Structure 1
């Protein structure tokens, strides 16, 4: 995603124009847009753990980046009390001894929250898949992996990066048109096949007739993007701010799954070494809620499975040898595999 500081400033103006509230009031009334009042009890769901003792939490349907004084893990839920929105959004965190610890949202998090709340009457479409990836439980894991990758990467979140790939000749226009922004592209009534071929060559330059002879309407005056893409831009900014890619969808009908991916600082001495952490959470009919955290580094793969149910933990423990065998077959070095309750 290639969104520089200047573009972000323009986006802030764009969202302010699309809101029913004046720009100043939108900043001051960010808490009321969250439908929170001082003293209100809320639940904070920890979505991901970030560097520098920061956490990504979901409160009242919105994502916030905050520093928590407790050692919590993704998937845990905390009880908080909303204190104030000014000068910074602040909550009080309830502890087991009934004491309370103030939790303050970062300035960047507050700005992003206000910006995100200015997008009205639109549902997010880039990070949430409405259609199931598969028609039923997977029988072909390779196919499932391909479909999952497509769902996470072709939802519009990486559209600008894909445009850059097309400009380098690494991606064709037909691939761009699959994404939501590409589907909004203006089309020719009777395109010249030769011109389309030139566009598919991916040299970064569209033929003049393709750029000019279009039938769809342009974005409204004053908008730097099609209003239909605002939910996607919201997700892009949230990902940039948090450093965590979050995807919600259906693996197969009625099987919801939530996946978060983030890059971690490498433990090794090589600056080129990259480490990734993926968290997956789903509710299974027979096993109940299960969360899995996968940490991939140069040394190999670390897997942590977590459940609150003793019976489920026993079933998972029994299946560990099979899981280890599958990981070995994939050519991945399994460094550790743990089940937690």
Structure 2
């Protein structure tokens, strides 16, 4: 019996291994961009038909349509980051997955032939002839997937603008706010925003939530006004599309943003999200993830103040930032009153950090 000799194996274009820090950093950088349009710079076309691109400051390979021209920039919508990043071109019903290139290729910012030459120069002979990663092929979307993609596109806001719940009316009355009422109003602004509508319907069906609360949510209001059939026609109703886009983004990123007036004339931006562990690692399985709540306010006498509240287990940490030296001095002088008030309310203060607004740090 004769055995045919093994042919010479052409080296593959190295891709980042699973768990590589650069791949994880790439995915983290994209987590807040789901549902948004991102520019993808086409650097070069490889011999196997795939393309070398620059996306989110990373060099990657993508299986783009054959007619794509190097040197162009394609707007793509980031549809998902898990289990791996997935992009979609406008009007297409397929997902495209980027595969990061292993080598450091600083010269690939130049498009076209120059980028291709720089790429080939750093590969072993014949490597550019290797077939593209099979996982990077186009993936067909189901009808439901295409519908979600159209809703994401319809609900997409201006580039770089975070999806946020926006309140058209102030939460409280003019004058000095009552903390308990303001806290209740803020809770209601999130609970009745429509982000949690489906879970609230399930609670209502189990008898755990009264119907009047459900009737105040946007989906129910729209259904009552337009009829059930038209109530959530998200593909033709921009408001419904935006709400669904916000729901998907909140589910994907674990982040909620609210913008509006807490009382007449007082604008506030409020963000809540899961607090990532230090160093970007994973928290131990027996440790509940912390929560970070940040808000920004502008006061007539104090100027801009940013506050970040972190709850980790039973510990409460607060960070305040202000531009004015006088404001920071005043905040430090009254910090004892804040700690005493929180202690009396059953939430003892573990740490308080007061910084200049330009200092490095979260918040």
Q: TM-score range by the shorter chain?
A: 0.5 to 0.7
> Distance between the aligned counterparts of 1:158 and 1:230, measured in 2?
15
Residue number among 196, 210, 216 corresponding to 1:178 in the alignment: 216
Deviation at 1:137, TM superposition (A): 4.0
Q: Which residue of 2 aligns with 1:157?
A: 195
Measured after TM superposition, the shift of residue 168 of structure 1 is 1.4
Give me the TM-score of the superposition, normalised by structure 1: 0.57
1:309 paired residue among 309, 319, 324 = 324
Task: Give yes or no for contact 2:193–2:217 (8 Å, CA) kept in 1.
Answer: yes
Q: Which residue of 2 aligns with 1:218?
A: 229
Residue deviations 1:290-334 (CA, integer Å, cap 9, x gap):
111111122310001112222221121112111111111111121
Deviation at 1:147, TM superposition (A): 0.7
Matched, 1:251 2:272: no
Measured in 1, the distance between the counterparts of 2:318 and 2:243 equals 31
Superposed, 1:269-284 pairs within 5 Å as 271=286, 273-284=288-299
- In the alignment, does 2:41 pair up with 1:84? yes
The match for 1:168 is: 206
Unpaired runs of 5+ residues, structure 1, are 1-49, 67-81, 94-103, 188-214
CA distance in 2, matches of 1:295, 1:113: 38
CA contact (8 A) 1:125 1:155 kept: no
* Secondary structure of residue in 2 paired with 1:337: strand
Q: 1:223 to 1:332 in 2, by over 3 A?
A: closer
Counterpart for residue 108 of structure 1: 80
The CA distance in 1 between the partners of 2:206 and 2:78, in whole Å, is 38
2:250 is the alignment partner of 1:239: yes
Pairwise CA distance, 1:340: 1.0
CA offset digits 1:101-123 (Å, max 9, x no partner): xxx99662674997544338999
- Structure 2 unaligned segments of length 5 or more: list them: 1-24, 44-50, 59-75, 91-148, 357-363
Decide which structure has the larger Cα Rg and report it.
Answer: 2
Q: How many residues align?
A: 236
So what's the TM-score if we normalise by structure 2? 0.54
**Cα distance, 1:289 vs structure 2:** 1.2
Find the aligned partners of 2:89 and 2:253 in 1 and give their Cα distance.
12
Q: Confirm or deny: 8 A CA contact 2:170 2:263 kept in the other structure.
A: yes
